Every structure is written in structure tokens, then in C-alpha cells.
Amino acid sequence: MTKSVILSALAVISLALSYLYEVSPTQQGTPVAGATATAPVTPYAINSPEDMVRAMEWSAPAADTAAPEPVLKEYYVRKLGLRFKDPNYKQLVETASAWIGTPYQYGRNSRKGTDCSGFVTRVFHDVYGVNLSRSSGSMFQDVRRVNKGKMRTGDLVFFRRSAKGPIYHVGIYLKNNKFIHSATNGGVRVSSLKEPYYSKNFYAAGRVI
């Protein structure tokens, strides 16, 4: 009798254990009707093969395939003694450098002789087809003023001798404080805004729109 009771008890325990551990994958993977998934499937859940694929894709997102920005190759303009990277400036700086050595001649704008505004107007016309005003003072009205610390290649630099004096000189900014212009004491040449004379008389920078 006792043996029968023991065997019956073991059978009941065995049946209970099999009920607790026999979990159907299909039942776990089936969503409740009307329920909406609120979180991504993780690789640690027991899911159908399709869900496992989704889990792997979620846990290892595709790498960013955006193309890197192109590396601009420097080019050196020997007459200017400067290196540039932006190809948009190449025609400008090469055209301007071809004028180096042209003598100063008031009221002219040719390779035989030119004044400061004549040089600037010719370069911008030849490179961009832009017609700037002929005098340095009126040319200042053709540009949008920019901060000295934000100047870039191709901006114009203007000079005047006093706070209330008129603009009397203009040049084309290159880089590293260098600008190219037609000076009365040497014709077309490259100078630095750090030179005492130009540093003292610098008035403003402007960008041709």
C-alpha cells in the first residue's frame, strides 16, 4: 500500500514538472491580439528564426556608409609665394599673380600700367565677369562688409588715412594677411596687412556678392 502511494506521488510530481518546463516556442513567439511592439527584439529572447534575424540586425546596425568629404589638394602659386587648397580660388589667384610687376599708372587698368582700383576691376571682370565701380571709394559700395578676422581669399581690403578720411586704396586679399594690389611705389605686388603702413591705414574688408 505504501509503495503504491509513493509511486502515485512520484507520478504526480513528474506530471507537474513536465507541465512547468514544457513551454512551447510557438506560444511564446505569438503576439497577443491587438498588442503593439514597443521595444526592439533583443538577441536574448527566445524567438522564431525570423525574429532572431531582426534581433541580429538591431544589435549590429549597419555602419555609416556616407562618403567622406574629399581631401583638397594644395596648389602652389610661385609668384605669390603661397599655397591654396580651395580650387574655386585658383583662377582668381593665378590671374592676379600674372599682373605682378605691372607698373603703377594713375587712371589706367592695362598690363602696361594700372592704378589700384583699375587692377581690381580688371581681375574681377576677367575672372568672374563682374563690373565693379572704378574708384576705390565707390567700390566699397559694391561689397558686403566682413569682419577682418573672417576674411577669405578674394575679399577686398580698403584703406584710408584717418577715421574720417576717404578711402584711397584697395587690394585683393590672398591669405595669411597677404594681399595683392597696385601700389604707387612699386606697381602690382604682394604686401602684408601686418606692415606698419598698411596696418595703420587699414579700414575694412568687403566681399563681392
**Residues noted as catalytic:** 116, 169, 181
Dist. CA 100–CA 189, nearest whole Å: 5
Residues in the chain: 209
Amino acid code (one letter) for 143: V
Amino acid code (one letter) for 196: P
Dist. CA 2–CA 122, nearest whole Å: 119
The H-or-E segment that residue 117 falls in is helix 116-128
Dist. CA 172–CA 126, nearest whole Å: 14
Contact in structure between 122 and 181 (CB atoms under 8 Å): no
Contact in structure between 155 and 207 (CB atoms under 8 Å): yes
Report residue 193 as a C-alpha cell: 596687412
Amino acid code (one letter) for 136: S
Nearest CA to 136 out of 181, 185, 170 is that of 170
Residue 78, Cα to own-chain centre: how many angstroms? 27
Dist. CA 117–CA 36, nearest whole Å: 72
